[in-house]
Amino acid sequence: MTLLSVYSILVFLLLGCANVRVQAEQQCRLIAQNALAALDPSSTNAIGLPNGNSTSTHGSSATPTSTGATSAPSATVTSFNYGKDIIRGVNLGGWFVLEPWITPSLFNDTGNDAIIDEFTLGLILDKAEALKLLTNHWQTWITEQDFIDIKAAGLTHVRMQIGYWSIPITSADTNYTTDVDPYIPGAWPYLLQALNWAKQHDIHVILDLHGAPGSQNGYDNSGERGDPTWGMNATDVPRTLDIIKFMSEKIGGMIDVLELINEPVMYRDSQQQLLTQYYQQGYQLVRNTTGQDLQVMIGDAFLGVQSWTNFLTQPSAQGVFMDFHEYQVFNYPQLQLDFNGHINYSCQVLDQLRSYSQSNIFTIIGEWSVATTDCALWLNGRGIGARWDGTWQPNQQVFGNCTGLTGNMSEFSNDYKTFLRKYWEVQADIGEAIQGWVYWAWKVENADDWSYQRGLQGGWIPQGPTSRMYPNQCSG
């Protein structure tokens, strides 16, 4: 597919309507809520985006399905009372922001071990070949059937990830560069298609900016593995704010929650001050663009939620969520925990987050899983091993063999699956005690312990998200 045909899809859709993960020093890994004006075809620019301050209509006509057929979206999405209703959702990780551990086959298909993230994929691979590879991925990794299955699983939300390079911002929208090289743009129309699928199947959307210019954390989940430079020059942050404004203007009525940036890592006090200002400015941009209807989400930047006490609280700010990511696999002390230790640790997190949410802002655990090891292939980065079996770094503690702890669930013992069910329930209970939870992730190629879809099939995730076999694990 050519870039021209990709943008043709974009025009059609517009007119028709996815860790430390804990350690910072090493990669660890639609209905419009505001008033929406109808799109005038004459108002679109060269790439099919509405000009000026016009907003996108959503769900007003048929949308393309994963098979190329069309289906009419439903008229409305069930209303959701944020702060009172519990968010129960799943991340569509690895779709619009590649992560090698989620789709290792895509990276193997490049035939080049030096391609370790989406940045190097665009840098090393022939542009046409890279676009072909990505287009096939965008078309097939998540389809409309996944939205149907997510709804059938009783979930209310999906959290979708997007990189700055996929936002078709133009020089009319910013005073800063719009160059995204070496990244390969083109995911935007597929994002729009996904928003229509969500609307059609009565699923609310959290959209998070998963990759920012320069990388906000240096992990492959930001698009670029290496030294993060976001916030270290005069342009990255204001450029990112223009991108937030663009998304608010163009699709603010098609989503429910906009997360300003995912997992920023702030190594110095000055960077936390910068992030504080970014959150404040980003919040105000969203409010100026969409009014009070769109929820705004921020993250704790691995500083702990208490570092954000009295920040963006009512009455000076409205509709703000804290996104806390809960993983217990990316450092040696947590890997030492036995099964009961993981349960007990989760109960401590529950108490901390409940206390914070009651006196500050709405809070969710926006990423978590039932994994107890870092054994999933390339979880710590392509070509990097696991702490658990000693392949990550030499002369470190080794906990055991990875067999039967990740990979295909056919190798999981009954006792292990029983624990996974307990562990899923206690972590879901964290979210139930605050304002909600979003599991990571819906699909993973070779790590069933991370997959919600496979967990449903294997029985350690219940068919109804409020069903409990092991209730009140934190009350003892």
Active site residues: 263, 367
Other Cβ atoms closer than 10 A to 195:
26
CA distances from 313 to 244, 296, 424 (A): 21, 12, 30
Residue type, 107: F
Torsion over CA of 105, 107, 111 and 112, rounded to 10 degrees?
-150
Query: What gap in Å lies between CA 92 and CA 263, rounded to an integer?
Result: 16
In 396-468, which residue ranges form alpha helices assigned H by DSSP?
414-433, 452-458
Of 248, 154, 160, 251, give the one whose Cα is nearest residue 202.
154
Other Cβ atoms closer than 10 A to 186:
24
Close Cβ partners of 343 (under 8 Å, ≥ 6 residues apart): 422, 423, 426, 473
Question: What's phi and psi for 119, nearest 5 deg?
Answer: -65, -50
Close Cβ partners of 113 (under 8 Å, ≥ 6 residues apart): 382, 383
End-to-end, the C-alpha distance of the chain in Å comes to 58
